[in-house]
Amino acid sequence: MSRRTTGLAIEAEGLTRSFGETRALAGIDLQVPAGAVYGLLGPNGAGKTTAVRVLATLLRPDGGQARVFGHDVVAEADAVRARVSLTGQYASVDEDLTGTENLILLGRLLGLPKSAARQRAEQLLGAFGLTEAAGRQVKKYSGGMRRRIDIAASILNTPDLLFLDEPTTGLDPRSRNQVWEIIRAVVAHGTTVLLTTQYLDEADKLASRIAVVDHGRVIAEGTPGELKSSVGSGTVHLRLRNADQRPEAERLLQAALSVPVQLEADPVAITARVGGDGSELDASAQAARALGELSRAGIVVDDFSLGQPSLDEVFLALTDHPAVPADERDDELEAAR
């Protein structure tokens, strides 16, 4: 039996779902190709979790349709469940049980005989660096270990599609890197991953396509490169050797780039937005030109960086509102669960 899948893993059209007055999904369309990481990017309360819960058969949509590997998530929920796994935002293993017990429990529920379930549990715990913690209750695990046991539980049956709902939120950088490594390995073995995240850099590093979600809608979709170029602007950060050259640098940059230039609190630092609308050059070419101007004028630049647009900038550009975490809205959704 070939478990490689091609074509579309998820097709959703016009999904809607409300919780009382709150419209969590206002008509989501998605086309997720199989065999890669697909990122759902958006702030808290954008509807990412609701979308995942509908696609994972946990919630019924009020309207619209969704198919996972061709199976309708409402009418053929069992067929969908046989091929997907979910690692939710909250603990999706039993915190009172040990790591081993959790994995044996799930192995048995997926139909493995007792000895096979135990063997699989040991194998997974080993691969996820949890052998030492195998006999401890999950509630005594650190944040990173907890995430790993969550993901281990999700790949117990090597699903064709894995939902990861904000897998790195609240993790320290090292644990985040470990999770990223695991996600890459999972995808390399043919599992499609739908990843929700609030972090642009995470989506950028892992996803081959990204949908930006806000107020329950997809407001932009494409490869990370396409999205960034559609947003269009980056920031050049410069640090000069001599603070007294800054006024001249400011004048030159303004002339070269015809964009607003900002003087930072640090007397040698200066920043400029590049790659904005209306420019025939891309951000790096503009930055190169600016550097050239400065060097010709004899201004020494000690440090230079061209920054990516941040999530805030993407959001500002796409929605005209900043990506502030809408905590109140999130709480409402929680209450409606």
Partner 1 sequence: MSSDTATSTGRAPTVFVPSSEALATVLAPGARPPRPSPLSASLTFSWRALLKIKHVPEQLFDVTAFPIIMVLMFTYLFGGALADSPRDYLQFFLPGIMVTSVVMITMYTGVGLNTDIEKGVFDRFRTLPVWRPAALVGMIVGDVLRYVLAALVILTVGLVLGFRPDGGVLGVLAGIGLLVVFSFAFSWVWTFFGLILRSEKSVMGVSMMVLFPLTFLSNVFVDPSTMPGWLQAFVKANPITHLVSSVRAAMAGTTDASAMMWITAWSAVFIVVFGSLTMYRYNRR
CB of 116 vs partner 1, minimal distance in Å: 8
Task: Select 171 or 259, whichever has its Cβ closest to partner 1.
Answer: 171
Element (H, E) at 186: helix 173-188
Q: Identify residues 189-218 at the interface with partner 1 (CB under 8 A).
A: 189-191
Give the range of 17-25, 36-44, 131-139, 260-268 binding partner 1 by CB under 8 A: 131-139
Task: Using alpha carbons, list the distances in angstroms from residue 328 to 179, 199, 331.
Answer: 29, 20, 5
Binding mask 1-40 for partner 1 (x = CB under 8 A): x-x-------------------------------------
Task: Select 44 or 235, whichever has its Cβ closest to partner 1.
Answer: 44
When binding is defined by CB under 8 A, the residue of 23, 81, 205, 237 that contacts partner 1 is 81
Give the range of 7-15, 173-181, 226-234, 315-323 binding partner 1 by CB under 8 A: 173-181
**Structure tokens given for 192:** 């499609």
Binding status of residue 70 toward partner 1 by CB under 8 A: no
Binding status of residue 169 toward partner 1 by CB under 8 A: no
CB of 214 vs partner 1, minimal distance in Å: 24
Binding status of residue 149 toward partner 1 by CB under 8 A: no
Residue 17 gets which letter from DSSP? E
Burial 127-150 (b: 16+ CB within 10 A, else e): ebebeebbeeebeebeebbbbbbb
Element (H, E) at 289: helix 283-296
CB 171 within 8 A of CB 179: yes
With residues binned 3-state (H G I as helix, E B as strand, rest as coil), the percentages for the chain, rounded to 5, are 40, 25, 35
Q: Identify residues 37-56 at the interface with partner 1 (CB under 8 A).
A: 53, 56
**Structure tokens given for 96:** 């009172």
The DSSP line for 168-180 is TTT--HHHHHHHH
CB of 335 vs partner 1, minimal distance in Å: 7
Give the Cα separation of 148 and 161 in Å (integer): 17
**Structure tokens given for 297:** 């004028």
CB of 142 vs partner 1, minimal distance in Å: 4
CB of 154 vs partner 1, minimal distance in Å: 8
The site for partner 1, by CB under 8 A, has a size of 71
